[in-house]
Amino acid sequence: MPTYTLNINDEKQTITTDADTPLLWVLRDDLDLVGTKFGCGIAQCGACTVHLNGSAVRSCSLPISAVGESKVTTIEGLSEDASHPVQKAWLEHDVAQCGYCQAGQIMSASALLAKNPNPSEDEIVESMNGNICRCGTYGRIKTAIQSLAGGEAK
């Protein structure tokens, strides 16, 4: 089996695993970073979202061999003490119900806001479209993101 040196949450990690092992399972099973969740396994629900060089990607379908020297950020690496503005907005707007999808939601929202600090409502909806919330907190998710975009999005 090949060995990979990964940059996970600004720390170098060396992993020996099959080339086609999804990043999700390396994070959860090998590195004990369990904030990233398994939802569907086919990149359709967003529960497994992490950042790859700042962009939101689905870790369940990303083979470890494709990560290379890219910087991977998980929900654990977004902030050490849940002080990231998106995490604070999630609490302020009481977004989570069951909470299962929220790490993926937060990772998608934070990637959006890092690239576009003042997204329109349509841009928010489009960016978050691939993240499924079975509890249906979409309105609160949008409101939390809008609050960080300077209030009611244009």
Model pLDDT for residues 112-152, shown as the tens digit of each residue: 999 999 999 999 999 999 999 999 999 999 999 999 987 54
Cα angle: 28, vertex 88, 6; to 5 degrees: 30
Task: Answer left, alpha or beta for residue 68, where phi above 0 means left and psi between -120 and 50 means alpha.
Answer: left
User: Are residue 110 and residue 66 in the same domain, yes or no?
Assistant: no
To which residue do tokens 């929900």 refer?
Answer: 75
User: Are residue 68 and residue 92 in the same domain, yes or no?
Assistant: no
User: Are residue 20 and residue 55 in the same domain, yes or no?
Assistant: yes
Q: Residue 49: what are its φ and ψ, rounded to 5°?
A: -65, 130
pTM across the whole model: 0.94
User: Are residue 67 and residue 122 in the same domain, yes or no?
Assistant: no
Q: Which residues have C-beta within 8 Å of that of residue 140, sequence separation ≥ 6? A: 93, 94, 95
Residue 56 placed within a domain? yes
Residue 90 placed within a domain? yes
To which residue do tokens 């060089």 refer?
Answer: 53
Domain limits at 16? 3-78
**Does residue 153 register a pLDDT over 60?**
no
Span 38-69, pLDDT tens digits: 999 999 999 999 999 999 999 999 999 999 99
Choose one of 56, 78, 100: the last residue of a domain.
78
